[in-house]
Structure 1
Amino acid sequence: MDVNFRKIDIDQFDEDVLLETELYDADPRDPAQVTEEAKARAATVRGSLSKGDITGALTTVLENAPYGPYVEEAKTLTLQTLLTILNSTKSAEIANIVKSLDQDKHDTLMKYLYKGMAMPGWGDVSGSVLLGWHEKLTEVAGIGCIVRVMTDRRTV
């Protein structure tokens, strides 16, 4: 009995296959430009943190977040920068900081929180920090923020 037919990828013969690249528009910027912008943002965030401006640092890192398949280095650098901000924030200040952000930044922050939670061993941040931010963000932005993040195809 021949069972090799089970190893054939039948999707390669289908003309109507939906590719991941067709689900959303890729970041229109050049990948090298996106990486340079992420490095510049990281330097700006370090300066803001040294001055104690956590809200400004968070706003800076959440603007123009890199997305798409070809900017992995910029995504990683932006996540590391965000985790630095999250680690350096006192838990009593989180609610006021989150309230100062607009809806788009709420959604982007939630994406980064989920990405941080998906890291093996949670990376450089403890689980309590990410869950604390998630709790405060959900209180301010509501459940709609979670739904928008889960249904958005553009991953950070």
Structure 2
Amino acid sequence: MDQDWRRIDIDAFDPESGRLTEKDLIPPYPNNVTLQDIEPTINQLRNLASSGDSISAIKLATSDPPYSGDENVKYQYFLAVMTALSQVKQSDITNIIKQLSPKQQDVLIKYLYKGMAVKETQKQGGVLLAWFEKLTQVAGINPVVHYINDRKTV
């Protein structure tokens, strides 16, 4: 054995030792996204959803969410995602979910949970539950576990 395990400073790995702050535990993101930065994506998302290109709309919505935006930016993007999700036929949901990457499925579950938590979108509960059911049938519980453990919010 190269290292003497008795000489390892285990306190260096203790998050409560004072060496790591809460800020150190949050992964870095690019500069804060503004509403002007995300507006073209929101418009494109709405155009794809209204033209019936559901697959492209959902892929766009889940590919690069504005994690570093303020609450207003995240909310405006969220409303556009909810519009896209509500315009998909229930028979197409499974096919769309199968075409998403695991990372995109993780982002989708975040929007589904947020949709269930926000009062304005709780009226679309049936749509959200249909998406949730199909997502867990296709991907299993992995997106749910990732949602619980992820610090990034949408």
Same fold (TM over 0.5): yes
Instruction: Compute the TM-score of the two structures, normalised by the length of structure 2.
Output: 0.80
Partner of 1:6: none
Percent identical pairs in the alignment equals: 34
Partner of 1:63: 63
Unpaired runs of at least 5, structure 2: 1-15
Q: Decide whether aligned partners of structure 1 residues 66 and 127 sit closer, same or farther in structure 2, where only a CA change above 3 A counts.
A: same
| 1:1-156 mapped onto 2 (5 Å cutoff) | 16=18, 18-19=21-22, 21-32=23-34, 35-68=35-68, 71-120=70-119, 122-123=120-121, 125-156=123-154
Unpaired runs of at least 5, structure 1: 1-13
RMSD over aligned Cα atoms? 2.1
CA–CA separation in structure 1 for the residues paired with 2:28 and 2:114? 19
CA–CA separation in structure 2 for the residues paired with 1:123 and 1:51? 22
Kindly report structure 1 stretches of 4+ aligned residues shifted beyond 4 Å.
none
CA–CA separation in structure 1 for the residues paired with 2:100 and 2:118? 25
Aligned residues: 138
CA–CA separation in structure 1 for the residues paired with 2:134 and 2:128? 10
SS of the residue corresponding to residue 155 of structure 1 reads coil
CA–CA separation in structure 1 for the residues paired with 2:116 and 2:73? 18
**Displacement of 1:41 after TM fit?**
1.1
CA–CA separation in structure 1 for the residues paired with 2:146 and 2:49? 29
Instruction: Compute the TM-score of the two structures, normalised by the length of structure 1.
Output: 0.79
